[in-house]
Structures are given as structure tokens and as C-alpha cells.
Structure 1
Amino acid sequence: MSFTFHHITLRVSDLHRARAFYEGVLGLTVDQDFLEEKLRLRLDGTATRLVLLPPLPQTPPGDRFKEWRIGLDHLAIGVPIGEVARLARVLGDAGVPNSGVKADRLGPAMITFRDPDNIQWEFFEQA
């Protein structure tokens, strides 16, 4: 079966802070802004969207992502060659802690970092 991701939806603790990170730091393009209800961003060069939603009323105050729970561990995105080094500079300039450019055990350059809600992202170079 061949498929692509249509969208990835993340619950975030603060839509405004998440928008500043994903749009301002990572440079994703806002597709649709539904005020305080949700925000849709485009993963450039793909048909995939990142959808950000506010917390549900049952969410405990101060809740943050923890990969040791069942469910999502991290997100890994393929990017063109040279993009990992550029992203390392952007993250560094924005004060976002990251791994720096590393070689994955399979070879391509990669970088890891966490968003404001502690969700880990990995970007891998791919030809």
C-alpha cells in the first residue's frame, strides 16, 4: 500500500506560543487560522498539514508531552540535503535546545529538538 500523511494533529498547551514556534522559528506556513479553535500549518514541499488544537477541558494544568506514555514517541520528517544545517542555525538563533547536526546510524544528517510542549522532532536529510 502506498500512502502519505494527510495531516498530523497535536494538542498544545498554548496556541499562540505554538504558532510562534512552528511559524516563527520553523517557518511553516499558516494555511488556516480558526482563532482560538485550531490552527493549520503546511509542511512546506508536501501535502501534509500540521494541525494545532488547544487542550481539552479535562487536561491537567501544566500538562506536557511525555514519550513514556503509550502513544506518540516522536515525529521524524525528511528534508532536502542542506536543510538540517540551516535548521540547526535557525534553532540556535532562536535559543531552542537541539542535538546539533549528527549522523544517524543509517547515515543521513539529522537534528533533534523539542517543541514548547516537549514533543520531540527529528529532521533527517534525504535525497
Structure 2
Amino acid sequence: MTAFPPLNHVALTVRDLTVSGPWYGALFGAEPAIDEDTDPDLHHTVWVVGTGTLIGLHQHGTAAPAEAFSEFRVGLDHVAFGVADRSELEKWAARLDELGIEHGAVKDASYGSGVSFRDPDGIALEFFAPPA
């Protein structure tokens, strides 16, 4: 068997693409590569980030449940975007400030450093740098 394959894409369900689409577009600093209805009950918008990973937003025809996202529920905890080092991490924290996106302080641990933030639906996101 060959080596385990790299991550290809992450698809996140959002409540309202008219809110989340522009938010992610500003975060990524790019226009989506795909923005289409695949059937009457699904619209998806997809960006290509980093070295080719796809980040997709799905809005289903069936309304999302009323409860907010929680990393304490079984399923997704968070999505982390890797940066080269702590200096680059600090630049991304400053970029979040420029975009008006609330975020936590840079947290350092033995395994690396991160800054956490949430999208309009409360989905937990992070920029993460390996240890120095």
C-alpha cells in the first residue's frame, strides 16, 4: 500500500452562504473556484487554499438545526490552517484584526502555537505554527 494520502478537502455546512461566502472570501483573500448548485437541495462554494486543499461551504435545502456549532458535540472540533512559524502566526492575527474578526490571543504550547477564531456560524477555526 502507498503512503496515506494528504487531506484533499474540508466541507463545512453553513446556515447562509450570503453571509459565510463573503466572510470566507475575505479571510482567504480570494474568489471561490466553484460556486454552484449541484442539485435542488445543495449549493456549494469552494476555495482552493494553501498547496491545493479545497475548503467548501455547503448550504443545504433542509434548514440547519437551531442550535449553534459546538466543538463538544461528536464530529468536527475545529479546522486549523498551518503557518510557517510564530512570526507568521502573529501576522495572521493582525490580518484577523484588519478584517474585524474576533480572535483569541496567541497561545504557546510545547507542540506549537495557535490563534483561534470562529466563522459567522461559530465554527471553530485556527491558525497554527509548529514549535520553534
| TM-score, with structure 1 as normaliser | 0.83
Q: Which ranges in structure 1 are unaligned for 5 or more consecutive residues? A: none
Q: Distance in 2 between matches of 1:90 and 1:38?
A: 26
Percent identity of equivalent pairs: 31
| TM-score, with structure 2 as normaliser | 0.80
1:74 aligns with 2:78: yes
Residue number in structure 2 paired with 1:30: 32
Given the alignment, which residue of 11, 14, 18 partners 1:12? 14
SS at match of 2:126: strand
User: 1:26 and 1:100, CA in 2 relative to 1: closer, same or farther beyond 3 A?
Assistant: farther
Q: Following TM superposition, by how much is the alpha carbon of 1:4 offset from its aligned partner in structure 2, in angstroms?
A: 0.8
User: 1:25 and 1:53, CA in 2 relative to 1: closer, same or farther beyond 3 A?
Assistant: same
Residue number in structure 2 paired with 1:94: 99
Q: Which ranges in structure 2 are unaligned for 5 or more consecutive residues? A: none
Q: Which has the larger radius of gyration?
A: 2
Q: Is the 8 A contact 1:7 1:49 kept in 2?
A: yes
CA RMSD of superposed structures (Å) = 2.2
Q: Distance in 2 between matches of 1:28 and 1:64?
A: 27
Q: Following TM superposition, by how much is the alpha carbon of 1:64 offset from its aligned partner in structure 2, in angstroms?
A: 2.6
Given the alignment, which residue of 68, 71, 78 partners 1:64? 68
User: 1:105 and 1:28, CA in 2 relative to 1: closer, same or farther beyond 3 A?
Assistant: farther
Q: Distance in 1 between matches of 2:118 and 2:76?
A: 13
Equivalent residue letter for 1:41 = W
